[in-house]
Amino acid sequence: MRKKEIFLRVVCALCILLVLTGGGFWLRAREVANQSVHNATFIMDTVMQQDVYGPQAQEAIEQVQNRISDMEKELSLYQSDSDIARLNEAAGKEAVEVSDETYCILKQAKDLCEQVPDAFALTIAPLTLAWGITTDQPRVLTQAEIDELLPLVDDDSLILQDGQAMLLRSGQAVDLGGIAKGAACDVAREVYEDLEIEHALLNLGGSTIYAKGTKPDGTPFRIGFRDPEGDQESAIVSFDLKDAVFSTSGGYERYFEQDGVRYQHILDPRTGWPAESDILSVGVLSENGAQADFYSTALYVLGKEKTLEYMKDGVTAIMLCEDGVLYASTAFESSLELLSDEYQVVYVE
């Protein structure tokens, strides 16, 4: 056989081998990209579930857990060595140095509170602790007790400057519980982006959910808006969620009953009592998790009419009211599916 023929046959054989192995490589690469890791852990007083896809899925899950665990230790109202506990202990005495993350969350929360006055207060903690609704020993306060504590609810007394925080009056205290889960979603987004995760779903107790991209096959993640009268698996509507956080607030989430009266955990900073809202549940959609969490709490306190005003002014939300009507921003219209015949949907432009 001539050298030229031998050379051509070798080249052809190498080309065939390259095609075959290359095809196998890309198939395996696609399989790795589509690999999913599911994890559930108890954190922030709830169950956090992550479904993450891709070759770095396990690392992403571990980093998210560690970052959120660290954040919880800094923001906890109940851990004595947390940034927030140290800030509260020093109230009326001195400023305390806090971590960069705590400082940024405090700054963001205070800015948001100024946008929605009287509906959300960072300095609600004296009342939160006195009511104890999320603890094992809740109790109904007297009006005299509330009147004594209400003057301490004053966010203007929270001073933030150069990485330090201070409460001006003794007895004041900060509670970030109404924004922490949303902030945790923002931490998760940072981790996913750093590790180039394109597909992930994070669920914090069913009330705060973050979707990164779509599923690997391109179909969107779909989530439900819970029926307050049903169990956690029941939903009134479902819709697509992509690159955003959906946070829900309602009086059905945590409460206690005494003498036939239900006292739910969301307090009205104007009265010091659990909020009396004509909203059963409200969920807010935002690319920023802390903002979604904040607005869902604030709008619940404000009630139906004010919430409709905010929705018309650009807040993307779904609201179920006592009259059985489900109000939804038009941003949901293209993917929203009604799952119950008991309700009607009214879109808000």
Query: What is the DSSP code string of 258-279?
Result: ETTEEEES-B-TTTSSBP--SE
Dump strand ranges (E) for 187-323.
199-204, 208-212, 221-226, 235-241, 244-250, 255-258, 261-264, 279-286, 316-321
- Range 158-186 average pLDDT: 97
Q: What is the pLDDT of residue 12?
A: 43
- Range 247-272 average pLDDT: 91
Q: What is the pLDDT of residue 252?
A: 81
- Going by pLDDT thresholds of 50, 70 and 90, the confidence category of residue 83 is very high
Q: What is the pLDDT of residue 213?
A: 98
Residue 258 to residue 265: CA distance in whole angstroms? 14
Closest CA to 184 of 65, 22, 313: 65
CA-based end-to-end distance of the chain? 80
- Range 306-313 average pLDDT: 97
- Range 313-333 average pLDDT: 95
Q: Dihedral sign, CA of 318, 320, 324, 325?
A: negative
Q: What is the pLDDT of residue 230?
A: 72
- Range 223-235 average pLDDT: 82
Q: What is the pLDDT of residue 179?
A: 95
Q: Is the pLDDT of residue 280 over 90?
A: yes
Q: Which residues contact 90 (CB under 8 A, 6 or more apart)?
A: 96, 166, 167
Chain-centroid distance of CA 271 in Å reads 26
Q: What is the pLDDT of residue 33?
A: 55
Q: What is the pLDDT of residue 34?
A: 64
How far CA 225 is from CA of 73, 132, 250, 317, in Å, comes to: 30, 28, 12, 11
Q: Is the pLDDT of residue 305 over 90?
A: yes
> Higher confidence at residue 7 or residue 129?
129
Hey, which residues does 238 pair with through a beta bridge? 224, 337
- Range 34-38 average pLDDT: 85
Q: Is the pLDDT of residue 46 over 60?
A: yes
How far CA 115 is from CA of 44, 119, 120, in Å, comes to: 26, 10, 10
Query: Of the ranges 13-17, 21-25, 162-166, 254-258, which is most confident?
Result: 162-166
Q: If you count them, how many residues does the chain have?
A: 349
The H-assigned helical ranges of 132-179 are: 143-149
> In which element (H, E) is residue 160 found?
strand 158-161
Q: What is the pLDDT of residue 233?
A: 72
- Range 137-145 average pLDDT: 96
Q: Is the pLDDT of residue 151 over 70?
A: yes
Q: What is the pLDDT of residue 23?
A: 38
- Range 285-300 average pLDDT: 97
Q: Is the pLDDT of residue 10 over 70?
A: no
- Going by pLDDT thresholds of 50, 70 and 90, the confidence category of residue 149 is very high
Q: Read off the pTM.
A: 0.88
What is the percent of the chain with per-residue pLDDT over 90, rounded to a whole number?
78
Q: What is the pLDDT of residue 147?
A: 98
- Going by pLDDT thresholds of 50, 70 and 90, the confidence category of residue 6 is very low
Q: Is the pLDDT of residue 176 over 70?
A: yes
What is the percent of the chain with per-residue pLDDT over 70, rounded to a whole number?
90
